[in-house]
Chain A
Amino acid sequence: MMSFARQANIIDYSLSSLWRRRFKSLGVMVVFAGVIFLLASFQMTTKALTNAASDILAFAPEITIQKMKAGRQESIPLEYKEKLAVILGIRAITPRIWGYYFNETSGANYTVLGLDPFSMPLGDQLGEAIDTGALPLDHEAVLGQGVFAELAGGGDAVIFSLFRPDLSLKTFSRAGVFKAETNILTYDTLFMNLDDARDLFSLPADMATDLCVTVANPNEVQTIAKKIAALLPDTRVVTRQQIQKTYQGVFGWRSGFASICLLTALAAFIIFAWDKASGLTPEERKEISILKIIGWQTSDVLTLRFWEGVTVSTVSFVVGYTLAYVHVSFFEASLFRPVLLGWSVLHPALRLVPSVELGETLLILCLTVVPYLAATIIPAWRAAIIPADSALN
């Protein structure tokens, strides 16, 4: 009896009955698609942000040492490296110079990062983030997409100049451009080697902004951080784990808050769906009892309602999901900007790459389609088992 022809007939009938009740069907689909849209937009946005945050973390050094004076950070002398030689388990100490460069013409703030990629552990991995070009040699810089667009106008200019603090010009040639995928990290970044960064900011030769420590055994990070803090009392020692906590603080409560709002919306939707789908009108009850008395089985009636539910939820899901994708990728999740403010302030010009993951998509599917199908079928089951003779009077 589960023949294909029977299914085809029942699907045929369910489509035409959805069409006959098109205003009710459309109303349900609009609300349904709206809920999917909200859930999926939120999921794609937070996923894109989480991915970005874990990128940041992947690049963060295991331990960062900053020199503190009067509660503020100041340059750290390179000789501190030698003081740490007594600590076993440190693989390398890489000095880093970073700071902000204000471009008066455009009003943009660039992040300048000075590193010596050739002498640091995993330095070659930096090369993988570069789209065209190579790691910077002397008087060269690798530009983030945003910086590249401003300084070279997106064209092929190779030489550009920046001001030192004394307003003398320092000239660079472009060694390369960072890949767009690394935008969250590199969009506003100028990456150059240590000496050029020092020259640009006019820092003394024996100074850096901070020291990055690479540890041989990841399990020892906490112990080593404590030893460093004990040896260098005038520094702040930050581990990757602490940075991670900070990020979780920024994204965490906001997305938690938003999830609660969304769950409320979801609950409202389920109640709404239950009401719409289960509130069989007297006409619908009459229809079911007529179908039964002229020879439809209870299972035929259930199959009918099942296909109605599948149609409504599939259409709603596809529409809602597509709209969400458009919303996140082309409108930069503008509906969620106010909620996820922490991130948009950090990176106003960031273009999100919505991430569609099977697991998350299935989760949304389960949270919406399953309750909807249940709301369609269970009441119909109650209606379908009403005795056929109720059509007699």
Chain B
Amino acid sequence: MTASFVALEDVCKIYNQGQPNQVRALHNINLVIAANSMVCLQGASGSGKSTLLSIIGCVFPPTSGRATIAGKALSRMPDRFLTIHRRNTIGFIFQHFNILPDLTVLENITLPLMPLGIGPGARKERAERLMEMLSIGHRSNFPARQISGGELQRVAIARALINDPPIVLADEPTAHLDHTLSLAFMEIMRELQRAGKTIILTSHDPLITQHPAVERIIAIEDGEIHVP
């Protein structure tokens, strides 16, 4: 289990295949990420970091190749099961947070629990523990549009963690944060890793790539893994 928590073999991703606007975003990716590690995907803009993270995050399967995430092969998995696997294993922190501005902080955080049939009391209880941990408890009933960028990211983190997933993904997590908030974010990631989670980040921010907690840098260039 620990050896290959995420295993990609000859993974390719082609957007809009067969159409004039076809894009070859990933090409022959071979990658193994161990459980409970913290890695960072690094690369220029357009190199394919987000695409790779999406495949690891079970958002879509690869166009070809084999992707095994937390013991399940994604290839040709129907959308329905991909969704179930995603919500059981992945906590995704998006670059633009993807928080619904008209919902309260609490409602945003508990949104993934709604289709699971978890009642309001249990939802609140789970969210409160996370909000406490992330020091946003006092914002619980604020509409998300009224809180600051740093708080917004913590809401996004809390939402990613609400199902207690073994893998946490963050796409360009420090792009909208100042230095202090970026360091605080990395501390939170370090805590999560200590708690046993696998952390996968994308970034070209040296604050992340050179952070002591990051065990491994995976360089991506034009959709391929760059071996220096």
Contact = CB atoms under 8 A, between A and B. Distances in A.
Interface of A: 3-6, 8-10, 12-13, 16, 20, 287, 290-298, 300, 387-389, 391-393
Contacts of A292: 83
8 contacts: A9-B113, A9-B115, A294-B159, A297-B80, A300-B114, A389-B60, A391-B94, A392-B95
A5 B60 contact: no
B97 to A, nearest CB: 10
Interface stretch (B116-124, B125-133, B209-217): B116-124
A325 to B, nearest CB: 37
A168 to B, nearest CB: 85
B115 A295 contact: yes
Contacts of B171: 392
Contacts of A8: 117, 119
Interface string B177-209: 000000000000000000000000000000000
Given A9-B115, A295-B163, A296-B112, 14 more contacts: A3-B117, A4-B117, A5-B118, A6-B116, A6-B117, A292-B83, A293-B59, A293-B98, A294-B98, A294-B159, A295-B83, A298-B80, A389-B60, A392-B59
A8 B115 CA distance: 9
Contact of A389 (B54, B103, B113): B54
A113 to B, nearest CB: 70
Contacts of A290: 98, 100
Nearest to B111: A294
Given A389-B59, A392-B54, A294 B100 contact: no
Contacts of A297: 80, 83, 115
A300 B83 CA distance: 11
B102 interface: yes
A388 B59 contact: yes
B85 to A, nearest CB: 10
Contacts of A10: 114-115
A392 B94 contact: yes
A391 B54 CA distance: 11
Contact of B50 (A298, A388, A392): A392
B66 interface: no
Interface string B156-186: 0001000100000001000000000000000
Contacts of B103: 20
A295 B87 contact: yes
B154 interface: no
B58 to A, nearest CB: 9
B5 interface: no
B51 to A, nearest CB: 9
Interface in B48-107: 50, 54, 59-60, 79-80, 83, 86-87, 92, 94-95, 98, 100, 102-103, 107
A298 B84 CA distance: 12
A13 B102 CA distance: 13
Given A388-B59, A389-B60, A392-B171, A293 B92 contact: yes
Contacts of A3: 117
Contacts of B111: 291, 294
Contacts of B59: 293, 387-389, 392
A390 to B, nearest CB: 10
B116 A298 contact: no
Which one of B86, B117, B119, B120 has the greatest number of beta carbons of chain A within 10 Å?
B117
A298 B82 CA distance: 12
B98 A296 contact: no
Contact of A20 (B102, B117, B120): B102
A239 B103 CA distance: 72
Contacts of A389: 54, 59-60
Contacts of A393: 50
Nearest to B116: A6
Contacts of B119: 5, 8-9
A393 B95 CA distance: 8
A388 B98 contact: no
